[in-house]
Amino acid sequence: MKKQSSKPTLDNGPNEKDRSRTFIMLGLALGMLLSSLDQTVVGTSLPRIVAVLGGMDLFSWLFTAYMLAQTITIPIAGKMSDRFGRRPIFLIGMGVFMTGSLVAGFSTSMEMLIACRFIQGLGGGALIPVAMATVADLYAPQDRGRIQGILGAVFALSTVIGPFIGGFIVDNWDWDWVFWVNLPVGILAVLVASFKFPQHKSVQNTPIDYPGMLTLVGALAPALLVMTWGGDTYAWNSPEIMGMSALSVVMLVAFVIVERRAADPLLPLYLFREPIFTLGSAGLLIMSLGMFGVMAFLPLFLQAVMGFSATNSGVLTIPLMIGTMITSITSGFALRYTGYKIWLLIGPPMAAFGMYMISTLHAASSATDAIIYMIIIGAGLGAVMSNYIVAAQNVMPKKDMGVVTSSMSLFRSIGGTMGIAILGAIMNSRMIREIATNVPPSAAALLPTTDANSLGNLLLNAEASAAIPQAILDSIQLSLSNSITYVFFIGSLIVLSALVISALIRSVPLKSAQEYHRPDEPPMRPTKPKTESAPGTTTATAATERSRE
């Protein structure tokens, strides 16, 4: 009996098929736009939110709650879309996301807003992996590059314009519209998904891997909290950090044990036997670590150091998006002729060079310099972020597209969280040294904190900074500038290290539509060879068959 068929059903006729796929991609792009946009849109609106709701000590949770929930949902949503189809998971994710957005605008306290951000993250985590997996359903690897490139450009666009949109809204409207602006776009995406999404048929007789979900959440949640709280809320050697680290390790071991025994594992461990998948996941983690490390602190640098308004600082990040779109779309259309390897080799050194150059900026630097350097960074990122996934999808079995895509998206999300945590800790450590060097000891003792973000917000708050002598404010600004640019330099080294990963990924010709849509081969599980076989036939283990894929 045929257990699974993952080939989507579309309207007959090539023209109608192309129109249907284009319409579907529109809905998916809108979903991706919303999910990734909400990772960054809150940053520039934070001062206004804190002024209204209070809870400055909880502001970091506006980012942490969203990324924590999103990271937890990504692998679960990808696997569930393999079992139950892309459309229901996409619609559920969009519904949860819009519910969180709607209620967030009515928040009356920071705690309520944080809870809404968590709900948004739960929904948003389902949107990106389902969108990327649907591309794999509809397009063969030879044709997939251009679509992945466009979606990669959408992801970059949302990451970059998030600060601009947040700044524009709080400068011209009110902070609640930061969340309500999601609703009309989300409704349009739901309408597209409801009427034109392909029917993904799947029949599974195996039980859902609930133990795998539980142990994975148990491993990810404390690990992300360690990266968020470590060195800031709690010391690295505190009982809280040590305890959560131990819990994460124990649950990770339990997850591996559970997945080895599960009939239909949440994250099949045999995926890691394919070096392209493993290396591509590592490459995404490293590149995201460096990218989010820059994006998280760039608005603060542009506003508190270079003196731009929230809106203008958002405008100045647009060149990053332009650079990403140029190489993401160009590589996507050229992929079937060039292969993916050349782009994986070009991207890391280009992004690293741009990050190094942006680390040379200071308070008197021109906006033109910042624009040029950000275009270079974006071009480097656009060359690799989608192509790591294309390379892995090309060699993995079609029936696992959802879990393959969501697993790689998970590593990208973890990399972003690690980047904000690790580079944030480095920035604060550097800030302490810079204050000791640049600020007179008598004045430094009166500072309420040495936290770089808090001192940056102090510089941006005209009322609070009015009571501080200008010479001291200049010293704080210099210290902040040196600390953030040092982080940019460290980020350039991190991104450059991805070149090693890219060099190790082998180049495999992209599959044609005929090769890609042949029936899936059996799962990669060792089987006992038959003792007898019919004349003229041969036997092979399922593992051998899978390795040929």
Q: Where are the domains of the chain?
A: 16-197+264-512, 210-263
CB 49 within 8 A of CB 41: no
According to the model, what pLDDT value does residue 13 have? Answer: 46
The pLDDT assigned to 11 comes to 46
Contact 66, 96 (CB under 8 A): no
Q: Bridge-partner residues for 202, per DSSP?
A: 4
Tell me how far apart the alpha carbons of residues 29 and 148 are, in angstroms, rounded to a whole number: 10
At 388 the pLDDT is 92
pLDDT value at position 174? 74
pLDDT at position 24 is 73
Q: For position 196, what pLDDT does the model report?
A: 62
What pLDDT is stored for residue 364 in this prediction? 87
Cβ-proximal residues to 173 (8 Å cutoff; 6+ apart), any chain: none
* Helix intervals (H) in 197-238: 210-229
**Which residue bears the tokens 């060039």?**
338
Contacts of 406 (CB under 8 A, 6+ apart): 74, 75, 77, 78, 79, 81, 129, 133
User: Token pair 């060099």 is at which residue?
Assistant: 503
CATH architecture of 16-197+264-512: Up-down Bundle (1.20)
Question: Which residue ranges in the chain fall short of pLDDT 50?
Answer: 1-7, 9-16, 521-549
Tell me the β-bridge partners of 199: 9
The confidence score (pLDDT) of residue 536 equals 43
Q: Residue 249: its pLDDT value, please? A: 94
pLDDT of 27: 72
Q: In this predicted structure, what is the pLDDT of residue 243?
A: 92
Enumerate residues 6+ apart whose C-beta is below 8 A from 98. 123, 182, 183, 186, 187, 190
3-state secondary structure of 191: helix
pLDDT for 33: 73
In the prediction, which pLDDT does 192 show? 75
